[in-house]
Structure 1
Amino acid sequence: MAHDEHDAASRIADAGRQLVDLAARVGDDDLTREEFDLALGEAGAGVVRLFGPRPRSKPGEGALWKILAYFQEHPNEWIWGDELRAVAGIGTWARRVRELRVEHGWEIEEQGDRYRLRSLDRNAEEAALWQLMNAIRRRPGSGKDRVAALLEARVGHVLTRDDLDYVAKIKEGSRRWRELRDEEGWPIESHVDEPDLQPGQYRLVSADPKDRTDPRQRLYPEKVRARVFERDDFTCQDCGRNREAAERAGDRRFYLEVHHKTAVAEQLDALPASELNDMSNLVTLCHEDHLRLTAEFQGRRRDERAGG
């Protein structure tokens, strides 16, 4: 045996004996972590001297997969970050945990510097969403274009502010959804429109241009919209449906709009804010009924002018 190999073997053996002795003292008041760290350091140094620097991992054998295997050996157990650092053998272990959770769909809960794998079953849908978001993020064009692409690809599904910011590649990229709604009429819901959504969650109801909102919905401030919808229990005051009832009937293109009882569309732009936002003049309607009632109201006004 070469001198270096003999020296490495001796260091590993000495460290092993120290660890056995320390394990026998577990529970003693005078036992310290530093003693374990020194023994482990000696063992690690001996391994490096024996094998040389750690080689590049083969596919499927890297730090990420070592961490995953460790989680799978200890499901639903809290694991300290230092444990994962030791298992991974790299300083960037926390990034690998995030990759397992976000990119690969593993349900890993974090609490301070502790982590646990909640399920041995991977969330394939979350992993697919991450892959989709990355593909859209790499597209050329504006942040608004990429937000639009993600909303269209996930029509009917809830997306978060973080999702929209990520594909936009700009800080507060989630504001682009409001531009799509207010400037282009995309029927995008937030917690203001639907009680099943939390602040920072958004959902595109339909990507069909025929389902675009009344462009004058932008005239009503969010606080006014919220008050009207809450007062009317998020229910269309004409057909009596809410989202749950509409979906039970197979209508997945249902969403709410604010309807002004006395002013036709072309008059809304000129109304003073006090009259435009007067709660007694506003009512909750679904998009379908809003279109119909607005058309009927405008028809009556035309008939009145013609008759007058």
Structure 2
Amino acid sequence: MHTDELLIVAGIGDYPRRIRELRADHGWPIISGLAVRDIRADAAAAEKRNRGIEQVSKMAAEEYLLIEDTCDFDAIGRWEQAVTIRDQSADVKSAVLAYLKRAPGKRITAEELRYVAGNSSTWPAAVRELRHEGWSIASKDAGSNDLPWGLYVFGPEKCG
């Protein structure tokens, strides 16, 4: 849904606050076009390295996507922890790992990871590096077809 539509439906100019409330206060798995752009840009960079092909996101930064039609009440507590993790972490990768470690087996949204990474677009590369180091992080782009795009599940055991 584009922000122009949200503005009309919400009837207020402060729809970003309403989106944050839906995520952090009610547990709705909503991601922004920015998070989708980050995922696709990282995938495109990997694809380009592997095959010389570039991929472009069709979702605008000003759009939002409801990933699933169920609330994740655990997400409410995670969003509260996200601020602390983001502020205390030295870099993007350590922030992402610290956040994932607090929610083993839970469905984490791309938006949560983007937030703990300080809104850095490098968070997907951090996830990729963590996988390379042996951390189990399931997602659609890593072959977990049962997960919708934009959701990640951390397995607490390090592989290998």
Which bracket does the TM-score occupy, shorter chain normalised? Answer: 0.5 to 0.7
After TM superposition, where is structure 1 displaced by more than 4 Å over at least 4 residues in a row? none
- AA aligned to 2:126 is R
| Equivalent residues of 2:27, 2:74 under 8 A apart | no
SS at match of 1:204: strand
Measured after TM superposition, the shift of residue 106 of structure 1 is 6.7
Gaps of 5+ in 1: 1-78, 86-91, 110-121, 215-308
Q: Deviations over 1:18-46 (max 9, x none)?
A: xxxxxxxxxxxxxxxxxxxxxxxxxxxxx
Take 1:204 and 1:123, find their aligned partners in 2: how far apart are those partners? 16
Aligned match of 2:24: 103
SS at match of 2:108: strand
| Equivalent residues of 2:92, 2:122 under 8 A apart | no
The aligned runs of 1:30-69 (5 Å cut-off) are none
- AA aligned to 2:90 is G
> RMSD value over aligned CA atoms?
2.6
Take 1:202 and 1:178, find their aligned partners in 2: how far apart are those partners? 12
Residues 1:81 and 1:196: Cα distance change in structure 2 (over 3 Å): same
Identity of aligned residues (%): 25
* Mean CA deviation greater in 169-178 or 145-154: 169-178
Measured after TM superposition, the shift of residue 100 of structure 1 is 2.3
Measured after TM superposition, the shift of residue 168 of structure 1 is 1.0
| Equivalent residues of 1:151, 1:204 under 8 A apart | yes
Aligned match of 1:199: 149
- AA aligned to 1:136 is I
Residues 1:93 and 1:157: Cα distance change in structure 2 (over 3 Å): same
Aligned match of 1:81: 10
Aligned match of 1:156: 105
Aligned match of 2:84: 135
Residues 1:151 and 1:106: Cα distance change in structure 2 (over 3 Å): closer
Take 2:143 and 2:9, find their aligned partners in 1: how far apart are those partners? 41
Q: Deviations over 1:127-164 (max 9, x none)?
A: 21211222211213011000000110011112222221
Aligned length: 110
Residue of structure 2 aligned with 1:93, choices 14, 27, 33: 14
Q: Deviations over 1:213-262 (max 9, x none)?
A: 23xxxxxxxxxxxxxxxxxxxxxxxxxxxxxxxxxxxxxxxxxxxxxxxx
Aligned match of 1:178: 128
Residue of structure 1 aligned with 2:74, choices 114, 120, 125: 125
SS at match of 1:189: strand
State the structure with more CA Rg. 1
Measured after TM superposition, the shift of residue 125 of structure 1 is 2.6
Take 1:106 and 1:188, find their aligned partners in 2: how far apart are those partners? 21
Which structure has the highest strand share of the two?
A: 2
- AA aligned to 2:127 is W
Aligned match of 2:137: 188
SS at match of 1:187: strand
Take 2:143 and 2:77, find their aligned partners in 1: how far apart are those partners? 27
